[in-house]
Amino acid sequence: MGELNRAKKRISFTQNRVATLKPPATGRAYHYDTQVQGLCLCVTAAGARTFYLYKKIGGRAGRPVRVLLGKFPAVSVDDARTAALQAISDISKGKDPQQERLAKRHEQTLAGLWASWLEWAKEHKRSWKGDQWLYDAYLKGWAHRQLSAIRQSDVAALHAKVGKKHGRYSANRALALLRAMFNKAHHIGWKGDNPAKGVQRFKEEQRDRFLTADELPAFFDALNAEPNATLRDFFILALLTGARRANVQSMRWADVDLDRGLWRIPETKAGMPVVVPLVGSALKLLHERKRLTNGSAYVFPSHGRTGHIMDPKAAWKRILTKAGLEDVRIHDLRRTLGSWQALGGSSLQVIGKSLGHTQVSTTAIYARLTVDPVRESVGKATAAIWAAGKKKAQNGQQAIAVVAEPVDETSDQ
């Protein structure tokens, strides 16, 4: 379109004038604003009206570009003029809006950032599966969002939503993962800001829940009544060893030395192997399970994908309901053992060793401890636990039972 034709179609844009311009019979008609040079309105035969800026980059002999500003009436005349002036300013500073728009169109999404992060995490983090769970649970809904479309306000809103629905701990972990992902986004060419930076995490209260002497009798009664004996044994051993749930779930016979009374956990949360001393009650349970698991590689086998039990929430809920207990998690069995050791006078160093803690400040002390004082401490604590549970049971160890059949995870997980 030549300058002569453009001149014939220059008008002063107003809301009413733009709205009432007659569409062409066919094709498109272009109208130029008299107030902002280069601001153009394209009207189609169907009546659609779109604002553009036509401008040359590099002066009169430069390359012409067309910058889309938006459709009328969603974009008003005033909005179009403001956007056009901003685009003209950007062009004068050497920016190319057309190239920037093209780059944005091909901008990486959160799914792409996650793929890059996961590749890195598998090489550098033992806990990458935890990251996978967090992403799938809380961040995957943004998978197709471009990175520039994720704003700090969006992250803050998501953090608050997860905190309200799933708890502060989960919300803080999801926030930390998103922040870490954006910190490494430069690996995929992202040059923007980190939208998770500056979002305040929730204050977390340290959990100190454990089973008290008043609660243990009802707990053991409910444990004895649990119909799934494999899961009943699982809870018993979790209490007797103080090991983390995931380690007990995947416990292998190859790592258990029944003769010496030791269980070597090849890899813990801290990424280090831990040797757990097995007290008499634990050994008795394991000898019986060894006899009844029929050659399985796992102490607690199942018919599921992993070959061992995974998440026994249904059985745990039954036990708590029958015992009349609230706010008790499976992990609190681990805390219960440590708390009863402390009540029995064991040192913090011995308790830390028995639970596989690896704080830097106590690592040197742990290295000098053998399993004997740890076994003595655990034995003393478990004896006290059984004694407390005898208030309603003639035999405090009657809860230790085994079952020969593996767990069917499809019916109880």
Residue by residue, pLDDT tens for the chain (413 residues) are 444 344 457 899 999 999 999 999 999 999 999 999 899 999 999 999 999 998 877 666 667 788 888 999 999 999 999 999 988 888 777 676 665 565 555 568 899 999 999 999 888 887 788 899 899 999 999 999 989 889 999 999 999 999 999 888 889 999 999 999 999 988 888 888 999 999 999 887 666 778 888 888 999 999 999 999 899 999 999 888 888 888 899 999 999 999 999 989 887 666 677 888 888 888 999 999 998 888 899 999 988 888 998 888 899 999 999 999 988 888 888 888 877 777 777 666 666 666 666 553 433 333 444 556 667 777 777 888 878 877 554 444 444 433 333 444 434 43
Specify the pLDDT at position 354: 63
Alpha-carbon distance of 128 to 132, in angstroms, equals: 6
Half-sphere exposure of 240 (CA within 13 A, CB side): 25
Sign of the CA dihedral 318, 322, 327, 329?
A: negative
Q: What ranges do the domains of the chain cover?
A: 3-105, 110-188, 216-412
In this prediction, residue 367 carries a pLDDT of: 41
Decide whether 3-105 matches 216-412 in CATH topology: no
Block residue for tokens 């995929």: 188
Task: Residue 276: name the closest of 256, 290, 291 by CA.
Answer: 256
pTM over 0.75: no
One DSSP character per residue, 371-394 reads HHHHHHHHHHHHHHHHHHHTTS-S
- Name the strand (E) or helix (H) holding 260: none
**Distance in angstroms (rounded) separating the CA atoms of residues 128 and 123:** 9
* pLDDT at residue 99, rounded to an integer: 59
Return the H-helix or E-strand segment holding 69.
strand 63-72
CA distance 186 to 295: 50
> Which pLDDT belongs to residue 357?
61
What pLDDT is stored for residue 395 in this prediction? 42
Give the tokens for residue 18: 């733009």
Largest Cα–Cα separation, the chain:
106
- CATH code of 216-412, in short, is 1.10.443.10
Helix (H, G, I), strand (E, B) or coil at 329: coil
User: What does the alpha-carbon distance between residue 182 and residue 113 come to, in Å, rounded to a whole number?
Assistant: 8
- The CA distances from residue 48 to 36, 40, 74, 318, 365, in Å, are 21, 14, 12, 64, 77
Name the burial class of residue 252, with classes exposed (0-12), middle (13-18) and buried (19+) by CB atoms within 10 angstroms of its CB.
Answer: middle
Rounded Cα distance between 263 and 285, Å, is 13
In the prediction, which pLDDT does 58 show? Answer: 62
Domain 3-105, CATH 3.40.640.10 — does that match?
no
In degrees, rounded to 5, the angle at the alpha carbon of residue 231 between the alpha carbons of residues 227 and 232 is: 65
5: its two tokens: 């034709």
3-state helix, strand, coil in the chain (%, to 5): 50, 10, 35
